Amino acid sequence: MGIKFENNTFHLFNQNISYIFTILKNNQLGHLYYGKRITHRANFDYMLVTNSKPNTVCSFEGDGAFSLEYIKQEYPTYGSTDFSEGAYQIKQDNGSIVTNFIYKNHTIMQGKPKLMDGIMPATYVEDESEATTLTITLEDDLLDCLMVMRYTIYEDRDVITRDVKFINKGVENLVLTRALSCCVDFDHKDYELLQLSGAWSRERHIKTRKLVEGIQSISSSRGASSAQQNPFIALKALNTDEHRGEVYGFNLVYSSDFLAQVEVNHYETARLTMGINPFTFEWQLKKGEEFQTPEVVMVYSQNGLNGMSQVFHSLYRERLVRGKWRDESCPILINNWEATYFDFNEDKIIDMAIEAKRLGVELFVLDDGWFGKRNNDCTSLGDWYPDLNKLPNGISGLSKKITDLGLKFGLWFEPEMVNKISDLYKKHPEWIIKTPNRKISHGRNQYVLDFTRNEVIDYLFNIMRKILKKSEISYVKWDMNRNITEPYSLNLSKEQQGELMHRYILGVYQLYHRLTKEFPHILFESCASGGGRFDPGMLYYAPQGWISDDTDAIERLKIQYGTSMIYPLKSMGSHVSAVPNHQVNRITPLDTRGNVAYFGTFGYELDITALSEDEKDIIKKQIEFMKQIRKDIQFGTFYRLLSPFNSTDKVAWMVVSKDQKTAFLGVYQILAKPNPKYDRIKLVGLNPNYQYEIVRKNLVLYGNELMNYGIIYNNCVNESKERKIGVSDFSSDIVILKALERCKR
């Protein structure tokens, strides 16, 4: 297992996957194969297709069969017989973009190196035996520039990661105008492209389309990975579904502007590229300097979309998230935002905390409005000191009162932003991102601080550090409610303005790095107007994220279903909120709101003091139930069963514990139908030889029965309302399956 190099060919493989490429005749790298594991052999030359084709420009005089127009490549560039878009481009002093990076050497090592001393997010290993890394150095002698390509294959995960570094050793200044992280050339175009698209309050909806000739892409140019597109695409065979078939998934570990693209050429072959969006990128690579691309995670699955997702889930939960909270269950929290918005005082917060504690909540989170003169969204961002009119004892005093109740305390920040009506802006108007002599746009009455400036990062670190050190805080919600416009930094030269977006996110990572290092016990949750920056780069620093500002249970079915395509349940902030819902004005049963939120971190976002005693009793039971099941939910194996994107009737998903002895099936009725047909739902992931008791149904079935025949669902009873599924809109149920002690035949 690992990586072998024979006859100028590299073979990366483990038990399930193979990735093969070779050194071509021109000493560049040619791609041969990516997919299901194949037996290693000394020579894979039969995979290299070189045919003489009419009207083709070729690389060598007298050789009409070697053209990069149709030979598959590993990291191609435009300009030397390849007319498709390349993975990189370097502009030189004479204006040329033509390069010739050829193989120089390579090394193979156990383990996986960090990126940029661990500040650039990336997956990792805890033991060197977990993975093998191939580092290949290519050189353009004319430019005296090195390209260092890195591949890591995990031993027991169907994962390959890739990144690239450029090093300028010459005297000439170079300009990177394109520096993507990976390229994979496929043999054909017979795939569907799957992407996660949306907008604020409807993030990560699943979209699919067949590949056709031309370019199909998703991207962001907002200074964030965005709610509109997630930095993920998958290519799936046309017959692939959730449980069967071949699929390739690609996810960029990055939180700013990205491009994910598939180009189908005139020979009907597909080229997938992914990395930093060239539209907003240009990097000055001066003598002795280097540039590091973000990491791409590549997953191949033979077991459908669920198989792909489970590889991503396990990898991100165990080898992307770090620190104390990686292996601990998420605390059950209540957030005051939708309960009070800006209108609160210390007494109101304490009253909510007392009631929350009585019902079993573990963490109280104070959201926006605690600082400066923040009574609306027009003022005080940047002034991170407590409003003593609202909180006479400050954050330190309030946090002590909350923790004395037996709760943990959390606090909201939006460190990347500033209001014009603030002490910070009055003192440092030059600290915002703005184009000289141009009108400045605003969003939510706020402006973006320039994170390319070390003094901005230092200011924020010191002022946040002061609050965190003086108070009893175990959780921080880091929000970001506005995208970048008028992209220009007064801190950068005119030649460096194309570096702004990348330098900005490196600054965000730097602040996260300093805070998480100083406060390793604090659980950070990322937020960006909900799910506007929900990506692997954020998970590296913040183990959970607020996936959407839309807390409506029915809308959350689509959002959580789509998010689960890549991201584990343990990373998904999921709350029970008040009705009518504040985003869509829908009224859903309290039990359904809980039944959706269980499949995530779980918490509440409502005025708990304003509820009836019956509602409080339901919440108390929900919290008790979540405490019993959360370890299995957050660390178990998640399966999608019935998609909200394919049906207007029911949605279903389930989690199976690691030992396969417990399972939780969630079924959700969208709109009720009169006199409905019986539904049979086939379960997955169970041990076929175990006997499972279906709790509350007085029924015991073997795992193979539940998976091959399934269960008739219309007569399942809703526990809290004693209501049968299918007889009302927005009803739901959680079915619990437990293996009997003598569960095997």
Catalytic residue among 387, 450, 535, 549: 549
Q: Using DSSP, state whether 271 is helix, strand or coil.
A: strand
DSSP code of residue 676: P
Structure tokens at 313: 């889930």
Q: Roughly what angle, to the nearest 10 degrees, separates helices 394-404 and 346-359?
A: 20
Give Cα separations from 209 to 191, 306, 410 (angstroms): 9, 19, 42
For every residue of 281-347, which 3-state class applies, written as one string?
Answer: CCEEECCCCEEECCEEEEEEECEHHHHHHHHHHHHHHHHCCCCHHHCCCCCCEEECHHHHCCCCCHH
> Tokens 């491009």 belong to which residue?
259
| Strands of the sheet with 662-669, listed across from one edge | 637-642, 650-656, 662-669, 732-739, 691-694, 699-702
Q: How far apart are CA 307 and CA 81, in angstroms?
A: 38
Beta bridge partners of 581: none
Stated length of the chain? 745
Q: Using DSSP, state whether 394 is helix, strand or coil.
A: helix
Give rounded-to-5 percent helix, strand, coil for the chain.
25, 30, 45
Give Cα separations from 590 to 250, 354, 520, 524, 728 (angstroms): 37, 21, 35, 28, 14
239 CB-contact burial (10 Å; exposed 0-12 / middle 13-18 / buried 19+): exposed
Q: How far apart are CA 74 and CA 162, in angstroms?
A: 11
Catalytic residue among 479, 535, 552, 679: 479
Alpha-carbon torsion, ordered 261, 265, 267, 270, to 10 deg:
0
Are residues 379 and 366 in contact, defined by beta-carbon separation less than 8 angstroms?
A: no
Q: How far apart are CA 47 and CA 694, in angstroms?
A: 52
Q: Is the peptide bond before 487 cis (omega within 30 degrees of 0)?
A: no
Phi/psi for 68 (5° steps) reads -75, 0
Q: How far apart are CA 387 and CA 376, in angstroms?
A: 13
Q: Using DSSP, state whether 706 is helix, strand or coil.
A: helix
465 CB-contact burial (10 Å; exposed 0-12 / middle 13-18 / buried 19+): middle
Known catalytic membership, residue 549: yes
Q: How far apart are CA 468 and CA 399, in angstroms?
A: 10
Are residues 559 and 552 in contact, defined by beta-carbon separation less than 8 angstroms?
A: no
> Tokens 């400066």 belong to which residue?
372
Are residues 690 and 739 in contact, defined by beta-carbon separation less than 8 angstroms?
A: yes
Are residues 68 and 59 in contact, defined by beta-carbon separation less than 8 angstroms?
A: yes
CA angle 156-657-410, nearest 5°? 95
Phi/psi for 222 (5° steps) reads -100, 0
Known catalytic membership, residue 187: no
Q: How far apart are CA 546 and CA 335, in angstroms?
A: 12
- Give catalytic residues, as residue numbers: 479, 549
